Amino acid sequence: MIRMTLAEVAAAVAGTLHPAPHDTPDTVVDGNVDTDSREIRVGDIFVAKPGEVTDGHNFVAGAVASGAVLAIVEQRVEAPVSQIVVAEAVAALSDLARTVVAAVRDRGRLKIIGITGSNGKTTTKNMLARILEGEGETVAPRGSFNNEVGAPLTMLRVGEDTRFLVSEFGASGPGEIARLAGLVTPDVGVVLMVGLAHAGGFGGVEATLKAKTELVQAVRPGGVAVLNRDDARVATMADVAASRGVDVRWFGRGSAADVRAEDVEVTAAGTTCTIVAPEGRWPLRLRVLGEHHVMNALAALTAARELGVALDAAIARLETLEIAERWRMQPMGSERVRIINDAYNASPDSMAAALRTLAQIAGPGERKVAVLGAMSELGELAGEEHDRVGLLAVRLRIERIVVVGRDARRLYLAAIGEGSWDGEAVFFETSDDAFEYLRGELRDGDRVLVKSSNSAGLRHLGDRLGESFS
């Protein structure tokens, strides 16, 4: 965080300052801000956030022992540290982030990029951050820090010399993206796709469209909206951008895109294509597995181009990215048995993309094995969407379909109904049972996809398989 006095922090969060005996309102703080006491280091600021399971106020003393010099709290606690009492800790976190980012923007060359979409946010964020790091100090979220706590925590890592802030905006309901993006009014807003991820929370895909449009509405006038030309719903956001004085740049596979991909080929080593833009053509060799990541790369390249990065330099940096993120199309195991652990998030779109990737990368004589768990937050669409995944797995000629968890049972039944009834599809209640089966079933030449939503916990099964067959 930038240097601020205790009085300035208190004013930013509309709180009441209670300095420790060794501090005054003019005492300066500039450490990291966190809500996790385990992450606190000397000079940091701890925000005591109440939670459903535990209360951050119980950990103030531990944070102080680790070196915290300020605690933002909802009620004073017994601890030898300066405290600022606020009405709501999470709201204070946002208020402080807004103040810090605005101050840095006013003083320097800070450019802010916001990214949203039903799938691909974290991968695109990592791709764009890799590109921009070559231009100057870049702040981007750790993992999927994209909610009402994670997004402000990322913003608060901005310092005086930061050139780029890449913010990832997720949401489980209407209005959340508007609130988060409104903290920083991005210079560039990237919308990847509108699909069924979290559709249950939004109330359907049209409500999801409205929610994702909130990012375009938050882009500052004179800024740029980077939109997916191949997604009909995202394309409708161009009118919203125009009404706000925001320029539009398109990415996609079709000829109408400003930055597009041609000649896409997928192999077990990654994905190759040709990037085409008005200024030229360049080969791109992505190490990240999956044809669907080409669209994420196009989004990152288009955004970088709008920020003044030459496409040839951007492509060279992008080619150094080995994996999108842990548990996202992460290669594990060995050449003998290759495990692809993609079990951090799942939606109908990302399930389909991952299964198609499995079908594409398996060579002659290599067996395709899909280990699948439930997709969460689909609401009333959950049943039919699990059915669709089961049907697709059979139609892609996946030789072994291993379904794990009661919430995914309809996927298994759909595969059986489609004709995968002679041992090709199996069902297990627990990951432990599935692991024991797979440990005995997998053989040389198998290519194994592990895919589910985070809540299904299959990412840990993927890790166990990766270690077992390394």
Extract the annotated binding site for ATP. 117-123
User: By three-state DSSP, how is residue 234 classified?
Assistant: helix
- Distance, CA of 321 to CA of 221 (rounded, Å): 33
The two tokens of residue 238 are 């161009």
The annotated binding site is made up of: 117-123
| Closest-CA residue to 450 (of 383, 400, 415) | 400
Contact 130, 320 (CB under 8 A): yes
Axis crossing angle, helix 311-318 with helix 121-132, rounded to the nearest 10: 120
β-strands 368-372, 70-73 pairing: unpaired
- Distance, CA of 30 to CA of 372 (rounded, Å): 45
38: CB partners within 8 A, 6+ apart: none
The two tokens of residue 127 are 């791709």
- Distance, CA of 158 to CA of 3 (rounded, Å): 11
Residue ranges in 40-138 assigned as alpha helix (H): 60-65, 89-107, 121-132
The two tokens of residue 295 are 């669209």
| Closest-CA residue to 103 (of 92, 91, 95, 114) | 95
Contacts made by residues 239-246, CB under 8 angstroms, sequence distance 24+: 240/213, 240/216, 241/216, 244/216, 244/217, 244/219, 245/221, 246/189, 246/216, 246/219, 246/220, 246/221, 246/222
- Distance, CA of 357 to CA of 201 (rounded, Å): 28
For residues 447, 120, 377, 423, the Cα torsion angle rounded to the nearest 10 degrees is -10
DSSP string, 126-152: HHHHHHHTTTS-EE--STT--STTHHH
